[in-house]
Amino acid sequence: MTDYELIRSKRRSLELRVLEDGRVQVRAPQRAPLRMVQAFVDSRRGWISEQQQRQASRPRQRWQDGATFFFRGNPLVLDVSSGRTWVTVAGRYLQVRVPEPDSEASVQQAVENWLRRQARPVFEDSIDRQFPWFASQGHARPALRVKKMRTRWGSLSARGYINLNMALLQYPPAALDYVVMHELCHLQHMDHGPGFHALMDARMPDWRQRKAMLDQPLFQP
């Protein structure tokens, strides 16, 4: 029988996730019977095994003392020890204090919470620097939402939000500015047609080189 974490919420369908560390999560409606959940998991055993093998073979961020963590494109060494939760940069170290220093999940949560707090002012600054031209075209400044995204670096909502992945803070500033410019250009062109690319070329001629930074893995197997 496959072990899994069950998370109930106000949703209508069952969803299965295999996390980076191989753990299995099932998200289910509040009243879904356990036998239904178990049958769902049992029916996906082959897929679960395949995903766990794939995750195990992928390079991933380690959340333990001595591991490398990138911040603004620079490698920092995680200095993890026991204490009341706090995170700070000290020279070439990212000092992390958590009550359970041997728990990678605890270290990850502390660092990601810290990263989210650091991201907002940095992201706002990038938007502020690049938005004036779009303002001159009559566009309203989109409101920032910092998110943890699995597959996207950013998006622009028709409701007036610019969503940016907090992981961008791990890459060089030039890569962040590229993503911000990309999303702002969608104020003029909602698709990725010739007009969009022409505007990107005009506003940020080296955007392709900046984009390539995001294709490089931050850590090696």
The pLDDT, as a whole number, for residue 217 is: 72
Q: 73 with 50, same domain?
A: no
Q: 28 with 82, same domain?
A: no
Q: 13 with 105, same domain?
A: no
159-178 residue pLDDT tens: 999 999 999 999 999 999 99
Q: What is the number of structural domains in the chain?
A: 2
Instruction: Find, among 79, 55, 77, the residue nearest to 68 by Cα.
Output: 77
The answer to whether residues 186 and 207 touch, using CB atoms and an 8 Å cutoff, is: no
The pLDDT, as a whole number, for residue 58 is: 67
The pLDDT, as a whole number, for residue 216 is: 79
Q: Is residue 101 part of a domain?
A: yes
Cα distance between residue 56 and residue 72, in whole Å: 27
Instruction: Find, among 50, 57, 91, 86, the residue nearest to 74 by Cα.
Output: 91
Cα distance between residue 72 and residue 176, in whole Å: 9
Q: Is residue 219 part of a domain?
A: no
The pLDDT, as a whole number, for residue 151 is: 76
Q: Is residue 221 part of a domain?
A: no
Q: Is residue 136 part of a domain?
A: yes
126-152 residue pLDDT tens: 999 999 999 999 999 999 999 998 778
Q: 32 with 83, same domain?
A: no
Q: Is the pLDDT of residue 220 over 50?
A: no
pTM of the model: 0.74
- Mean pLDDT taken over the chain: 93
In the chain, what is the straight-line distance between the N-terminal and C-terminal CA atoms, in Å?
30
Q: Is the pLDDT of residue 180 over 50?
A: yes
DSSP string, 114-164: HHHHHHHHHHHHHHHHH-HHHHHTTPPPPEEEEE--SS-SEEE-TTSEEEE
Q: Is the pLDDT of residue 56 over 90?
A: no
Q: Is the pLDDT of residue 221 over 60?
A: no
Report the amino acid identity of residue 221: P
Q: In this predicted structure, which of 20-29, 66-75, 112-121 has the lowest mean pLDDT?
A: 20-29
Q: Is residue 106 part of a domain?
A: yes
Q: 182 with 80, same domain?
A: yes
Q: 206 with 101, same domain?
A: yes
Q: 14 with 119, same domain?
A: no
Q: 82 with 169, same domain?
A: yes
Q: Is residue 98 part of a domain?
A: yes
CATH of the domain at 129: 3.30.2010.10
Q: 77 with 163, same domain?
A: yes
Q: Which domain holds residue 38?
A: 5-57
Helix (H) or strand (E) holding 12: none
